[in-house]
Amino acid sequence: MSKKINRTERLAIELVKRLRSGIYSDGRLPSQRRLAEYFGVSRNTVVNALARLEADGWIATCERRRASLTPPDFAFARRLSAFLSGSDFRPPLMNDAFGRQDSQTQDPTESIDLARLCHEHWDDHIQFDIENAAVQRAMARIRRGESDIYRTTGVEQLKAAICRYLRRFEIAAGPHQIAIISRRLQAYRAVSEVLLGPKIEMWAPELSLVRFYGVAERHAAKRRYLEMDVDGRINFDAMLFSKRPKVVFLEPTRQKPTGSSLSIEERRQLVDEARRSRTFIFEDAYCELLYENHLPFMASFDPKLESVIHLGAIPTWLTPIGGFSFILAHERIIELLRASARRDYLNPEFLTQLTALELLESDGLDEMLWRFHAFHRRRLRFVAEILARDTGEYARPVLPGSFGCVWLHFDAADIGALYRARRGIDFQPGWFYGESARSCRHVLIRYTMPEAVFEEGMARFGALCRSVLG
């Protein structure tokens, strides 16, 4: 990279810092000559830096007049408008990118599916009393006429409660920056439909949920994948080098397939880079509730929500009735989602929203999480014992790998042969999530089924490994 470009970028970054700090309180920048003298750079460097600021919506220039500052909201509107010039909204297609016709060859009454995505059953409903009380209070609100059952924009009190909940994670937001959404998959689709287009790149880790959902195949003309090493570390160099407008889909906590997380410094660096470039980061924080210790969300490093779109949830594995997802983003992004997404995306069941509101306002969610964490610790110990017994000589488990699942890493094995030989057992090889079929080394196993079923399934899987791998 040339010295001239480096100086231009450094000057642009310094000017943005000064704009944010309010140094230029009169609403105008100093002249180009004075800026060049103050920063010790050439006039041409100043001109190029100002052009970059204008392209990002920070300033407006006029011939023979000093550059003027644009209001923050207008600055974001200009940036978003420029970004969306490459967008091309299309109705969603059917979610059949990863249709599995082969699963029909097995008798479902005799086969155990160790990777069933939505099999979120636990041994007992440990939250029933809390959920039942919340439902009763929600019904009482309806009977008293305190809630509009025909509302389709989300319960406003619920949005406010979510904002209060987010403060504990150092995220300051208002209800106008929240969109209540029915399901996690619909959140991926809604954002993709609005932001992705023929001129916009979509980036995601090689092994990621966005690939399993098939979002890239349906909504992105320019797909790019972030390389991951064997320890799960993501290489962002190619993405940072690209100057195209882009959307990056990340599950920053416990990245597949190894369970590793993006460090605090990596998160901060990515957000800073996104703010300096034409980039949006879609942060999927759904699985974070599984864990008792939390790293900061990337949204906490983006107080104005200029670049981060945050996906959060009250998951159905905590409360089947009160479970839903929500999107936190700049209000102009929320407006676009409401204008462009299908109506059923943004309209969860009304009782679901009221029940979730009761759980948040009564601190019932915290009690649910405390119970679940205690339950989950016991389940993980059980799962680790079963894995060591049945697959310990063949694979190294990474536990946990994401919500309710573990990745088995085979150092040297033909996963294709293992998959083709399965009988009475089903599982997902890594290529379902984007890993190369030729060099696949991972198998995904879920443990959210009853313990007895999981134990029997792993016994069959262990026998399969012995028969195929020797």
Q: What is the DSSP string of 48-109?
A: HHHHHHHHTTSEEEETTEEEEEPPHHHHHHHHHHHHHTT----PPPPS-TT--GGGGGS-TT
Report the Cα–Cα distance between both ends of the chain, in Å, rounded: 53
Residues, the chain: 470
Phi, psi of 362 (to 5 degrees): -100, 5
> CB of 417 within 8 A of CB of 468?
yes
Long-range contacts of 30-37 (CB under 8 A, 24+ apart): 30/66, 31/66
Sole residue written with tokens 């030989």: 421
From CA 315, how far away is CA 223, in angstroms rounded? 29
From CA 408, how far away is CA 283, in angstroms rounded? 25
Residue 119: CB atoms within 10 A of its CB come to 15
Q: How many CA atoms lie within 13 A of 47 on its CB side?
A: 4
* Domains of the chain, first to last: 3-70 (1.10.10.10), 106-121+368-469 (3.90.1150.10), 128-362 (3.40.640.10)
Task: Provide the β-strand partners of residue 410.
Answer: 395
From CA 447, how far away is CA 425, in angstroms rounded? 14
From CA 20, how far away is CA 27, in angstroms rounded? 12
pLDDT tens over the chain, length 470 residues: 344 457 888 888 888 878 777 777 677 888 888 899 999 999 899 988 888 887 767 777 776 677 777 766 767 877 788 888 877 755 443 333 334 444 444 444 578 999 875 555 565 667 888 999 999 998 888 888 776 655 555 678 899 999 999 999 999 999 999 999 888 888 998 898 889 888 899 999 887 778 777 776 777 778 888 888 766 788 899 998 888 899 999 988 766 556 678 889 999 999 999 988 889 999 998 878 777 788 899 999 999 999 999 999 888 888 888 888 999 999 999 988 887 766 667 777 888 889 999 999 998 999 999 998 888 888 889 999 999 999 999 998 876 666 788 889 898 888 999 999 998 999 989 888 777 888 888 898 988 888 888 999 999 999 999 999 88
